[in-house]
């Protein structure tokens, strides 16, 4: 909840100063073609969750965006998934037993910009696809683990502001579908994860995220 509150506050503040006129002024005289971005808050958790709200992974990601035309751009993201700091608070593992995760996440956007600003600045919409995979292991027996995957397919709407100094802030939301699956075939009789409700789900996805970095 704290993470969501921080994101909402930052997003609201950004939209206050990120008007189309401001973005045009910031981009005047510059032909910006690329941006490199990240979000350090992802290290707190995501994109895989158990018990609805508890992240089992932390994500360390980088996003790269390239302008394809005056009103379009393509963005790719790569992330390493490690152990979330919240995992230790899930379930009763007993003794010195801990759990840890390893995995990856890939993302792809294609953006169509709607304002008079040149890409990659201004309001945009377009498709977004992401795929994440991770293994969660018990430190007492690393041969026993479960695998988790998550596929998101969404239509997103967002705004990216780029200042004269090259600072880029990208905020988006949208609507789509997500499929989450768990492979428990390697757990054997291990009941460490027995109360984590590892159920496959296919549900509606409503993303809300931001990233920031440098445009050049």
Distance CA(19)–CA(35), nearest Å, equals 19
Q: Whole-number mean pLDDT of the chain?
A: 82
CA atoms 188, 84, 110, 202: torsion sign? positive
pLDDT band at 18 (very low <50, low <70, confident <90, very high): very low
The pLDDT assigned to 132 comes to 97
The structure tokens listed for 89 are: 């608070």
Token pair for 54: 């508890």
What pTM was estimated for this model as a whole?
0.80
Confidence check: pLDDT of 158 > 90: yes
Name which of 94, 88, 92 is nearest 56 in CA terms. 88
Alpha-carbon distance of 212 to 94, in angstroms, equals 40
115-144 pLDDT, tens digit per residue, is 877 899 999 999 999 999 999 887 777 677
> How does pLDDT run across 50-83, given as a tens digit for each residue?
777 778 899 999 999 999 999 999 999 999 999 8
What number of CA atoms fall less than 13 Å from residue 82's CA on the CB side? 6
Give the C-alpha separation, 22 to 37, whole Å.
20
3-state secondary structure of 85: coil
Look at the domain 2-215 and name its fold: Porin (2.40.160)
């Amino acid at each position: 909840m704290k993470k969501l509150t921080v994101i909402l506050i930052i997003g609201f503040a950004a939209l206050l100063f990120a008007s189309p006129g401001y973005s045009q002024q910031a981009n005047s005289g510059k032909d910006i073609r690329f941006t490199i971005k990240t979000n350090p808050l992802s290290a707190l958790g995501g994109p895989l969750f158990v018990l609805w709200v508890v992240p089992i992974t932390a994500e360390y990601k980088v996003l790269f965006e390239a302008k394809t035309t005056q009103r379009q751009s393509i963005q790719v993201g790569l992330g390493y998934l490690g152990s979330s700091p919240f995992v230790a608070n899930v379930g009763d593992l007993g003794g010195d037993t801990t759990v840890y995760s390893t995995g990856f996440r890939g993302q792809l956007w294609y953006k169509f910009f709607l304002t008079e600003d040149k890409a990659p600045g201004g309001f945009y919409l377009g498709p977004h696809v992401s795929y994440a995979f991770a293994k969660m292991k018990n430190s007492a027996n690393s041969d026993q683990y479960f695998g988790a995957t998550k596929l998101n397919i969404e239509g997103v709407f967002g705004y990216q502001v780029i200042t004269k100094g090259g600072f880029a802030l990208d905020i988006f939301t949208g609507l789509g579908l997500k499929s989450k699956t768990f492979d428990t075939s390697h757990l054997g009789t291990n009941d460490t994860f027995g109360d984590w409700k590892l159920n496959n789900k296919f549900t509606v996805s409503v993303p809300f995220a931001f990233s920031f970095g440098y445009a050049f």
